[in-house]
Homo-oligomer: A and B are copies of this chain.
């Protein structure tokens, strides 16, 4: 297998990078955005529609798929790609984020995490061995190590303990992936940097993970309630200690301006439920900020969501029609807005790639963010 990451170009006025991430299901141009397919589907859209809007890689969810329908079932049916009809790369998270998001239903131990199912209360345990087995069952192209995602804010002692534990689990996950044949079959395993708001813990964990020589690194423990400046500070405190020749992935982020700001900090990959989740409530992204289609002012608006944006929704439907669908409670409204919002995010990273190649990313992204934030405010 070729080296998993090729760094093609670096922006002159920022730390922005243009690269290519190679997986056994194809190549991902970076920077890029991964639509989230928690339960074996990116909500409201088909894999064919994902291809149409240029998605190159999607994210699946270990915790949720393991509960329902179960990772053995998916393995027996040929793996997650075949199960959900997506033949491109899939990155799977490890369940570590659920340590944060399902805090009341879990107990962190030294050897892993005991959960009570949010569906039926059944007990399950996720340690390094379990999460790697599940991700192997799913046939993940990029498996994430088990980590402990601390809340925000977090006491330093508790955070330091979580970092030590996460680092130990990361090493175990890597070993298990080697022993089980997951690496030999072409799967990648990415490490995850925690450390909350403590720059020195971020650095220590990043360096500790780098010593384990992962083919890619994620920045975790962001998007857990902290304000945007804090979030960007944490990303900025982590990136410099990650190997320059490996891809960097900011987990669970972010808004369009946040994504551009993090690309400028040197981040390569993003995932977020934002574009899909808000779509189903009638919110659409535009270069002038998000608009809520339920608003009366769109009642007779014949314009597309974004003039000239080349996706099925913008090519064919007016804001007035999309508003009608949302008010009438029609599923197609959620589908068309999901398509548009995901394309908006994918197109944004495609524009970022082009501007990094043209070496004018710095000025371009500042102007883009300024326009978006001016109109949103």
Contact = CB atoms under 8 A, between A and B. Distances in A.
A69 B324 contact: yes
Contacts of A46: 312, 332, 335-336
A321 B84 contact: yes
Interface stretch (A35-43, A249-257, A364-372): A35-43
Interface residues of A, number: 38
A78 B334 CA distance: 23
A329 to B, nearest CB: 9
Given A69-B324, A335-B331, A85 B300 contact: no
A299 B43 CA distance: 21
A302 B83 CA distance: 9
Contact of A312 (B48, B68, B78, B84): B48
Contacts of A312: 46, 48
Interface string A321-358: 10111011011101110000000000000000000000
A299 B46 CA distance: 21
Contacts of A327: 68-69
A320 interface: yes
Contacts of A331: 43-44, 331, 334-335
Given A40-B325, A44-B332, 11 more contacts: A41-B325, A43-B331, A44-B335, A46-B312, A47-B316, A68-B327, A69-B299, A76-B300, A83-B321, A83-B324, A84-B321
